[in-house]
Chains A and B, each alone.
Chain A
């Protein structure tokens, strides 16, 4: 049940360490605090030897991780799930300000042309790093690109998430 107190508030949903906010019809913001210095987090998010260790779903491997890390440079990942299926993703770096900000495009090759733009901002406080990721979807297809890539595990369960959803919307 929705209470009046939630009306008009800028509310977000906290799930464990991650906060998700639906900023408008075509933008989703995620924040997560990591117990590591910013430089290390930035490297983990931009170097292939690190990325292939964490980027894919649990139990997957990343046989291809190509990164031309400079503004205008391309990236391409191929994820292999434990069942052998492969999923490829590509994009381009638009902006790099090490170690605080990077903007890149994201495209699932199974849905070519459906491009979203991800902006990552890293800030450090007391040795911990807050990563804020804003995904901007310029088309409906882009919004669904990542979801339809089959990377999610299992079928989506239907919960009564009405209240939670309303809380995430700003």
Chain B
């Protein structure tokens, strides 16, 4: 994944309406009308969000079918998820080590107090 693609995906995901659209699409394909329904938004507004998602490679829209349903493109989301996951792992390990170190420091302090 190129940096600008990752960037477009992150920017697209930064909006709560677009995340809700993705969550809806995770349950299955849906038409623009179906997607608009729960949001109380006008169709052009939904279409704008869909365009952003489409440009980011997060969804696709079938052109041939008459209903033109939107569907989730999970590959791109997985790439974003992987990036977050790698970041998480670095920090989880680092904080895990800090935790163990703090425990060690405190038990040494205690045993020193005990000796005195």
Are B97 and A2 in contact, with the CB atoms below 8 A?
A: no
Provide the residues of chain B in CB contact with A54, threshold 8 Å: 94, 97-98, 100-101
Nearest B residue to A141, CB-CB: B3
- Roughly how many angstroms separate A57 CA and B93 CA in the complex, as a whole number? 7
Interface residues on B, range: 35 or more
Chain A, residues 28-58, CB within 8 Å of chain B (1/0): the string is 1010101110001100110000100111011
- Roughly how many angstroms separate A89 CA and B48 CA in the complex, as a whole number? 41
Is A97 at the interface (CB under 8 A from chain B)?
Answer: no
Provide the residues of chain A in CB contact with B80, threshold 8 Å: 165
- Roughly how many angstroms separate A25 CA and B95 CA in the complex, as a whole number? 24
* Interface SS of B by simple majority: helix
Contact of A8 among B20, B85, B101 (CB under 8 A): B20
Provide the residues of chain B in CB contact with A98, threshold 8 Å: none
State how many angstroms separate the Cβ of B102 from the closest Cβ of chain A: 4
Chain A, residues 8-34, CB within 8 Å of chain B (1/0): the string is 100000011110101011101010101
Are B84 and A44 in contact, with the CB atoms below 8 A?
A: no
Are A17 and B86 in contact, with the CB atoms below 8 A?
A: no
Provide the residues of chain A in CB contact with B103, threshold 8 Å: 35-36
Is B16 at the interface (CB under 8 A from chain A)?
Answer: yes
State how many angstroms separate the Cβ of A126 from the closest Cβ of chain B: 15
Is A66 at the interface (CB under 8 A from chain B)?
Answer: no
Q: A2-B27, A147-B86, A147-B87 are in contact. Are A18 and B92 (CB under 8 A)?
A: yes
Per CB-CB distance, the 6 closest pairs between chain A and chain B, nearest first, are A161-B81, A25-B10, A2-B26, A165-B81, A54-B97, A25-B14
Q: Which residues of B contact A (CB under 8 A)?
A: 3-4, 6-7, 10-11, 13-14, 16, 19-20, 22-24, 26-27, 74, 77-78, 80-103, 105-106
Q: Which residues of A contact B (CB under 8 A)?
A: 1-2, 4, 6-8, 15-18, 20, 22, 24-26, 28, 30, 32, 34-36, 40-41, 44-45, 50, 53-55, 57-58, 131, 133, 140-141, 143-144, 146-147, 151-153, 156, 158-166, 168-169
